[in-house]
Amino acid sequence: MKSRVIACWIAIFCLGCLSACGSLPDFGDKEPSYKLPVSSNANLVQFTAPLIVNHPAQTGVAPLTNGLDAFIARLAIITAASTSVDLQYYIYRPDETGKLLVWHLLDAAERGVRVRILLDDLTTKELDHGLMLLSMHPNIHIRLFNPSSSRVYRGLEFITGFSRMNHRMHNKSLTVDNSATIVGGRNIGNEYFSNNEDVDFGDFDLLAIGEAVDEVSNQFDLYWNAKVTVPIETLSDKSFTEEELNDADESYRAERLAFESSEYLGRLELSLFLEELREQKLKWYWGNAEVVYDPPQKAQKKDEQLWLLSDLSKFLESAEEEVMIVSPYFVPTAQGTQDLVAASQGGLTITVVTNSLAATDVLAVHAGYQGYRKALLDGGVKIFEVRVDPEHKPSGWMGSSRTSLHAKTFILDRKSTFVGSFNFDPRSAWINTEMGMIFHQTEFANGVVTGIEAGLKESAFRLDIEEGELVWFDDLKGVKLHSEPGAGFWRKFMADFISLFPFESQL
């Protein structure tokens, strides 16, 4: 993604020469707020109560592998909101899906619902005006994570204050009435919800009800009230004239009216997921779940036992037979490679699914990954790389023929599944904050693995080593390739060139 590319290139040129102060500027105090109690008559409580009553202390999840379903699920729970909506994302694009979601948030606020929006500040430059307008609504509250104190010269501040600005909130959650939540790998933007002809990320979220929802709310409260998050109104003294407000209102109404004839809206209305949700025929998987997340003060490099990395390490170490790692950005590092090989040689079946050079949207990440492939394969680790091939139809897991994998999930022994924002790379491990859910349920985990395996033959290359060199097998066509499939000369050259720079810790 563009934000990740920015961070990587700044790291190349600046990491070794910056000594700027890494402390957060003093933005003053802010009023704390927390999750709200919900009436037993609330829509979502009425919807979920009959389901939860038969599964005490358990969590019910519905997988969201399809972009349309993932967006419908978000709109549906916001539409049902009676008391509160808490939205937390790394990227929020002001495109068609971003606007449609905002309109539903506005509708909820008009009904008296408290709306809290928490965004990472790295990519909000073009959002400031709209966020300030939104925050004028008495029921909408907006805070930014680790914001730039300068709303004009952000790029300069990112460079001069790199040691602070490099730490981003990669968490992704949407929780309504403390009764239903969506966690996973998707940000907010057309490319995450099957509404972009050029880009369509294959991703994975969970719609969850029951026991785990409260802990997602606790996670949100922790971040919302953390020192590193700042109310949008504190960062800008922008005031709007009556004319500007009228223009904004007219633009808003015109855009909503125009959207009524949108082709995308038509596809949403035909969603089978929406029909199943309306008729309460949606299949729920019930089991025990753990919500795991980094503390918001992770940048201070303290209490590492509380980091998500610690939870995931214990989770992965508990595997007895099989581990499947799905990560669009896979940079195992020397130590990680050694650990994976040791586990494989110790009897575990380890499968890695990541992006090919042609499919990746961040060349720097592939540059950091490509040098570990031979060692992993020699050590018995299986590697599949998602391909870009217009001859094959899209897979929900693998994205479309035009784009790449974006899902982040680890499955152990076909019994337990982690779904979240965490990539298998140093940036997720040590720099950004991350979150996710570990769900223990055999039918669900087995279904996830089966779905991935079904997509691999059509949408991925199987890697191997022959005579000391990498080869890529297209098992669908029965073809063997000897060079990075689908990648042109310059893409290969740039990946090799970038790999020469010592900035793996930033990937």
Helix (H, G, I), strand (E, B) or coil at 461: strand
Residue 86 placed within a domain: yes
Tokens of 204: 């994975």
User: Residue 64: which of 228, 241, 186, 216 has the closest Cα?
Assistant: 186
The amino acid sitting at 363 is L
pLDDT in tens, 340-376: 999 999 999 999 999 999 998 889 999 999 999 999 9
Residue 283 placed within a domain: no
Which of 26-40, 128-142, 150-164, 257-271 is least confident? Answer: 150-164
* Catalytic residue status for 177: yes
Out of 120, 177, 205, 425, the active site residue is 177
How many whole angstroms separate alpha carbon 497 and alpha carbon 445? 39
User: Residue 268: which of 96, 15, 506 has the closest Cα?
Assistant: 96
Q: Phi/psi zone of residue 194: left (φ > 0), alpha (ψ -120 to 50 degrees), beta?
A: left
**Residue 374 shares a structural domain with residue 332:** yes
**Residue 263 shares a structural domain with residue 313:** no
Higher pLDDT, 141 or 5: 141
Residue 50 placed within a domain: yes
* Residue 344, CA atoms < 13 Å, CB-side half-sphere: 19
* Catalytic residue status for 477: no
Average pLDDT over residues 124-132: 89
With a cut of 60, say whether residue 19 has pLDDT above it. Answer: no
**pTM score, whole prediction:** 0.93
**Residue 300 shares a structural domain with residue 259:** no
Out of 35, 172, 298, 415, the active site residue is 172
How many whole angstroms separate alpha carbon 38 and alpha carbon 138? 20
Task: Report the pLDDT value the prediction gives residue 349, as an integer from 0 to 100.
Answer: 98
Task: Report the pLDDT value the prediction gives residue 403, as an integer from 0 to 100.
Answer: 60
Residue 19 placed within a domain: no
Task: Report the pLDDT value the prediction gives residue 14, as an integer from 0 to 100.
Answer: 45
Higher pLDDT, 353 or 237: 353
With a cut of 60, say whether residue 311 has pLDDT above it. Answer: yes
**Mean pLDDT, the chain, integer:** 90
**Residue 249 shares a structural domain with residue 317:** no
Which residue, 226, 251, 278, sits at the end of a domain? 278
Higher pLDDT, 116 or 477: 116
How many whole angstroms separate alpha carbon 478 and alpha carbon 143? 52
How many whole angstroms separate alpha carbon 35 and alpha carbon 86? 9
Helix (H, G, I), strand (E, B) or coil at 62: strand
Task: Report the pLDDT value the prediction gives residue 199, as an integer from 0 to 100.
Answer: 64
With a cut of 90, say whether residue 404 has pLDDT above it. Answer: no
Sign of the Cα torsion 459, 340, 425, 326 reads positive
pLDDT in tens, 427-437: 999 999 999 99
Average pLDDT over residues 15-34: 68
With a cut of 90, say whether residue 161 has pLDDT above it. Answer: no
Residue 366 placed within a domain: yes
The amino acid sitting at 289 is A
User: Residue 213: which of 185, 186, 184, 179 has the closest Cα?
Assistant: 179
With a cut of 50, say whether residue 163 has pLDDT above it. Answer: yes
**Residue 420 shares a structural domain with residue 321:** yes
Domain holding 331: CATH number? 3.30.870.10
Task: Report the pLDDT value the prediction gives residue 390, as an integer from 0 to 100.
Answer: 57
* Domain span including residue 404: 294-506
Which of 13-27, 180-194, 402-416 is least confident? Answer: 13-27
**Residue 379 shares a structural domain with residue 420:** yes
Out of 35, 104, 141, 170, the active site residue is 170
* Catalytic residue status for 35: no
**Residue 306 shares a structural domain with residue 247:** no
Beta bridge partners of 395: 399
Residues 192 and 186: beta-carbon distance below 8 Å? yes
With a cut of 60, say whether residue 402 has pLDDT above it. Answer: no
**Residue 140 shares a structural domain with residue 200:** yes
Burial call 364-400: b when 16+ CB within 10 Å, e when fewer: bbbbbbbebbeebbebbbbbbbbbbbeebebbbbbbb
Residue 486 placed within a domain: yes
Task: Report the pLDDT value the prediction gives residue 16, as an integer from 0 to 100.
Answer: 40
Distances (CA, A) of 315 to 414, 415, 416, 438: 13, 12, 9, 9
Task: Report the pLDDT value the prediction gives residue 394, as an integer from 0 to 100.
Answer: 42
User: Residue 299: which of 409, 184, 427, 413 has the closest Cα?
Assistant: 427
How many whole angstroms separate alpha carbon 181 and alpha carbon 179? 7
**Residue 325 shares a structural domain with residue 398:** yes
Which residue, 278, 312, 344, sits at the end of a domain? 278
Higher pLDDT, 401 or 57: 57
* Catalytic residue status for 408: yes
Confidence class for position 198, pLDDT limits 50, 70, 90: low
Out of 141, 366, 406, 415, the active site residue is 406
With a cut of 70, say whether residue 141 has pLDDT above it. Answer: yes
Residue 20 placed within a domain: no
With a cut of 50, say whether residue 392 has pLDDT above it. Answer: no
Out of 104, 298, 366, 408, the active site residue is 408
User: Residue 45: which of 36, 109, 139 has the closest Cα?
Assistant: 36
**Residue 264 shares a structural domain with residue 340:** no
Within a 10 A sphere around the Cβ of 215, how many other Cβ atoms?
A: 17
**Residue 367 shares a structural domain with residue 243:** no
Confidence class for position 401, pLDDT limits 50, 70, 90: very low
pLDDT in tens, 31-72: 999 999 999 999 999 999 999 999 999 999 999 999 999 999
Report the share of the chain in percent with pLDDT over 90.
69
Which residue, 234, 252, 278, sits at the end of a domain? 278
User: Residue 332: which of 369, 374, 371, 279 has the closest Cα?
Assistant: 369
With a cut of 60, say whether residue 15 has pLDDT above it. Answer: no
* Catalytic residue status for 137: no
With a cut of 50, say whether residue 18 has pLDDT above it. Answer: no
**Residue 182 shares a structural domain with residue 263:** yes
Give the E-state strand segments of 441-484 in sequence order. Answer: 460-466, 469-474, 479-481
Domains in the chain, number: 2
DSSP annotation of 24 reads P
Report the share of the chain in percent with pLDDT over 70.
92
* Catalytic residue status for 86: no
Which of 166-180, 189-203, 373-387 is least confident? Answer: 189-203
Residue 26 placed within a domain: no
Residues 376 and 352: beta-carbon distance below 8 Å? yes
Average pLDDT over residues 212-236: 96
Average pLDDT over residues 166-174: 97
With a cut of 90, say whether residue 121 has pLDDT above it. Answer: yes
With a cut of 50, say whether residue 21 has pLDDT above it. Answer: no
